A = this chain, B = another copy of it.
Amino acid sequence: MLAHEVMERCRALAGFSEDSGSICRTFLSPPVRQVYQEVGRWLSLLGAESNIDAAGNFHALYSGTKPDSPRLLIGSHLDTVPNAGAYDGVLGVVLAIALIRALNGRKLPLAIEVVAFSEEEGVRFGIPFIGSRALVGRLGDDVLDRQDAHGISVRKAITDFALNPAEIPQAAIHANTLGYLEFHIEQGPVLENLGFPLGVVEAIAGQSRLEFIFEGRANHAGTTPMSLRYDAVAASAEWILTVEQLAQNTLGLVATVGSIQAKPGVGNVIAREARVSLDVRHRDDATRTGAVDDLVRKAGDIARRRGLSVRWNLLLDQKAVAMDPFLVNQITDASQRVGCQPQRMVSGAGHDAMIMAEKVPAAMIFLRTPGGISHDPAESVQVEDVAKAIECGVELLAQLASSTEFLARTQRA
């Protein structure tokens, strides 16, 4: 059964790691070459020859009925975080290969280009999506000059992998491309809670990241009456509850304070300063930025009422990205046809599909993630859900191959 093979292959690729005993595979590290060789061997057996572009992305083309059949890109990324699970990214690449395999040599009026991005997690250079940026023409000197912890630049890492950074422009998406499809684990608890194997991603949420600094006055915890305190920890605690309440009362909004640091941060001194993070996400940009404005205002109100001050820095303001409506509908139909409730959802996490959507119609299918756990050795996926993903993908390919409307929608057209 194909789904079992997919599981085995994900676990096999997990063996190629920078760290012994745990999975870690950052941008163009030595195990990446081994992974590419293994994946290339699987695809070669299916008649798809592979190549690596100048940004280190792996590609393999399973041709269509004609030499110039338009291409559908299917894939995900093969890099990982440190101490990773076996499925984040990898599963999307291995499922793409499984879909070709399910064709049993049959050719479609569209070619399938398997793409495995070299970098999505942002671990080695602190910025994500290096791989897919190259495909949309956004891998410029600003990124190429960035250095890792050892002072090695992206450019140097590419050269060390025997690739030529000057050829990055040729990594751009082929003009004859229909779109990009990505299978990925949900990395959240929604599908598990609903009891559904698959989800149809309608949009990738926009993100705001901020840092708030509440500033009060340090004082002796024993000698300062409650009425004469300017306690930065207490003020930030009040605001953290406000953040939580606003998100609970706003449909689809998630807001998180994951980091808090108190200064001086000792038990018998009232804190002078509390530095807290804020992460806000929503599919609708106006809802998100409105919530951020509201939380900034409320931080000011709380600080003022308590006699403290507060300042904040905006660290990230990333717009939401809609998935292609035609593809979303096609995936919805396909999943229904294979007996799945077509659960439309918003991805709270960023994905390569978000980058690819800048240039081509893009869509994603989520797989239920047990416990919502990802970026952890305990990350898993159920073989039955992988089987459903394959069924759905096969059905989707059949639908798309028979859609003259879709086949006409290439960049060239």
Interface residues of A (CB under 8 A from B): 186-190, 193, 205, 207, 209, 211, 219-228, 231, 233-234, 236-238, 240-241, 244, 247-248, 253-262, 264-271, 274, 277-279, 281, 347-350, 372, 374-375
CB distance from A92 to the nearest CB of B (A): 16
Label chain A's interface by main secondary structure.
Answer: mixed
A209 to B266, CA, bound (A): 11
B residues near A256, Cβ cutoff 8 Å: 221, 231, 267-270
**How often does this chain occur in the complex, in copies?**
2
CA gap between A219 and B187 in the complex, in Å: 9
Given contacts A256-B270, A260-B260, 16 further A-B contacts (CB under 8 A): A186-B223, A188-B222, A190-B223, A211-B267, A221-B258, A226-B253, A233-B258, A233-B260, A234-B241, A256-B269, A258-B264, A258-B270, A258-B271, A259-B265, A260-B262, A268-B279
Are B262 and A267 within 8 A (Cβ)? no
B190 touching A225, Cβ below 8 Å = yes
User: Which residues of the partner chain B approach A240 to less than 8 Å between Cβ atoms?
Assistant: 233-234, 237
Q: Are B193 and A228 in contact (CB under 8 A)?
A: yes
Could you say which residues of chain B place their CB within 8 Å of the CB of A220? 187-188, 348-349, 372, 374-375
A128 to chain B, nearest CB (A): 11
Which residues of B sit under 8 angstroms from A349, Cβ to Cβ? 220, 222-223
Could you list some 29 contacts between A and B, CB below 8 A? A186-B223, A187-B223, A188-B224, A189-B223, A190-B223, A190-B225, A205-B222, A219-B372, A220-B349, A220-B375, A221-B281, A223-B347, A223-B348, A223-B372, A226-B244, A226-B248, A227-B248, A233-B240, A233-B258, A234-B257, A237-B244, A237-B257, A241-B241, A259-B262, A259-B265, A259-B271, A260-B265, A261-B265, A268-B279
Partner pick for A209 among B187, B265, B268, CB 8 A cutoff: B268
Considering the chains assembled together, what is the distance between the CA atoms of A279 and B344 in angstroms? Answer: 49
Across the interface, do A241 and B247 meet the contact criterion of CB distance under 8 Å?
no
Q: Name the distance in Å between A280's Cβ and chain B's nearest Cβ.
A: 9
Tell me if B228 and A234 are in contact (CB < 8 A): no
Q: Bound complex: CA of A261 vs CA of B260, how far in Å?
A: 7
- Cα-based distance from A205 to B225 in the complex (angstroms): 13
Contact residue among B223, B258, B348 (Cβ-Cβ distance under 8 Å from A266)? B258
Residues of B within 8 A of A270 (CB): 256, 258
Q: Which residues of B contact A268 (CB under 8 A)?
A: 209, 256, 258, 279
Residues on the B chain within 8 Å of A374, using CB: 220
- Distance in angstroms from A58 CB to nearest chain B CB is 26
A344 to B100, CA, bound (A): 86
**Assuming the A-B contacts A234-B257, A256-B267, are A279 and B222 also in contact, with contact meaning beta carbons closer than 8 angstroms in the complex?**
yes
A278 to B233, CA, bound (A): 12
Min CB–CB distance A281 → chain B (angstroms):
5
The CA of A286 and the CA of B16, in the complex, are separated in Å by: 62
Contacts A233-B257, A233-B258, A257-B233; A372 near B265 (Cβ below 8 A):
no
Question: How far apart are the CA atoms of A167 and B110 in the complex, in Å?
Answer: 96
Closest to A204 in B: B222
Alpha-carbon separation in the docked complex, A55 to B259 (Å) = 45
Cα–Cα distance between A342 and B188 once the two chains are bound (Å): 64
Q: How far is the CA of A279 from the CA of B279 in the complex (A)?
A: 31
Q: Which listed residue (B205, B225, B267, B347) contacts A277, Cβ 8 A?
A: B267
**Which 3 A-B pairs have CB atoms at the shortest separation, nearest pair first?**
A188-B223, A222-B348, A267-B277
Q: Report the minimal beta-carbon distance from A249 to chain B, rounded to whole angstroms.
A: 9
Residues of the B chain whose Cβ atoms lie less than 8 Å from the Cβ of A234: 240-241, 244, 257
CB distance from A25 to the nearest CB of B (A): 20
Q: Which residues of B contact A227 (CB under 8 A)?
A: 248
> A258's contact among B258, B269, B347, by CB below 8 Å, is which?
B269
Which residues of B are found within 8 Å of A274, using beta-carbon distances? 260
Q: Are B271 and A266 in contact (CB under 8 A)?
A: no
